[in-house]
Amino acid sequence: MPKKLFILAPYPFGEAPSQRFRFEQYIDQLKENELDIEFHPFLDHKTWSLLYSEGNVFSKAWGMIRSFGRRKLLMLKLLKADYIFVHREMAHLGPPIFEWFVAKVLRKKYIYDFDDAIWLPNYSETNSSFHRLKAYWKVKYCIKWAWKVTAGNDYLAEYAKRYNNNVQVIPTTIDEKGHHNLSCDHTVKPLTIGWTGTHTTMRYLDPILPVIRSLEKDHTFKFIIISNEAPEFEMDSLEYIKWNKTSEIEDLARIQIGIMPLVEDIWSEGKCGFKGLQYMSMGMAAILSPVGVNIKIIQNNKNGFLAENPDEWDSCLRELLENDQKRIDIGENARKTVHEVYSVTANEQKYINLFKDI
């Protein structure tokens, strides 16, 4: 008889990258292993669509009230759960009331999963009015009360081990068959340097924009940015593509050289390198800042490049623009790394084992 698994997550199914590329892409495999799954997001689609829009404070507040009401009604339903899987938090705002109720009152074991340094304040200006309600301090209690903890990288796992002894690393992974299933074409000219991300992370590009502008003087290439908002800077090679869920893979496949600059800070240490893994899975030659898990993912000059300062960024970009075979070889090695270590295929048994009393 199938065992009952309740998944509690912040966002609606299929919307947020942190959910799509961590646990959502394993749901079919879990069902095949005799788990009867119910998925319960905190936010409904309407509130989710409003969350990062300007204003709409009263609509957002009403959406949050509805969300808390649904969570409250769910609690007693969890009595019939064999397993409970919590991604990030049971409620978007406030203290860990629901986690406490599940662990201490219902006496249910739950698995806690996180993929960022979410104990650190990090919020968009559009939601600054809700910032004080976020209760970042609750993360340590969510970890402490959990039966098992899964973290996206070693840095996050080390934090979790302060409060829980049953911690394992499961990376944010790539679905090579069902999603990231296209390859870039290294024969297309002019070559394309590309970056993808949200407008809030576009600031990481600032230190290398002068490098791109310098390269424009003696190389012909396109510089593609795929984001939810257009960049505020201009340059001759720039082409903006508005991010679209239905075309994101086709848009990414236009890039031959993928870049992931970061600054070295506590928040970046917690990142799981997913942007770089996306590039690598599609056979691109990727250049990443040597920050956090990027150092573990990239073997410099073999399956990608690590660039720490403007001179290194300039050198790496020039080599990849000028040496077609190097770019192709790097891309092939990158794809192999993803397949062997960071793919759904390589990690699905880890998820299956989570729901076994082993």
Does one domain contain both 288 and 301? Answer: yes
The enclosing domain of 22 has a CATH number of 3.40.50.2000
Q: CA-CA distances (angstroms) from residue 141 to 71, 89, 164?
A: 18, 11, 10
Does one domain contain both 78 and 206? Answer: no
Residue 339's nearest CA partner among 316, 33, 331 is: 331
Whether residue 182 is contained in a domain is answered as: no
301 contacts: CB under 8 Å, gap ≥ 6: none
Q: How many other C-beta atoms are found inside a 10 Å radius of the C-beta of residue 165?
A: 7
Q: What is the mean predicted confidence (pLDDT) over 139-156?
A: 95
Contact 108, 95 (CB under 8 A): no
Report the pLDDT value the prediction gives residue 132, as an integer from 0 to 100: 65
Tens digits of residue pLDDT in 216-270 = 999 999 999 999 899 999 999 999 999 998 999 999 999 999 999 998 877 777 7
Confidence of residue 54 (pLDDT cuts 50, 70, 90): confident
Res 172 pLDDT > 70: yes
**Tokens of residue 55, six digits:** 């204003």
Q: What is the mean predicted confidence (pLDDT) over 181-190?
A: 92
Does one domain contain both 349 and 328? Answer: no
State how many domains the chain has: 2
Whether residue 24 is contained in a domain is answered as: yes
Res 204 pLDDT > 70: yes
Q: pLDDT averaged over the chain?
A: 91
Tens digits of residue pLDDT in 134-143 = 888 999 999 9
Does one domain contain both 39 and 155? Answer: yes
Q: What is the mean predicted confidence (pLDDT) over 310-314?
A: 96
Read off the pTM.
0.88
Whether residue 39 is contained in a domain is answered as: yes
Domain that holds residue 154: 3-173+345-354
Contact 254, 269 (CB under 8 A): no
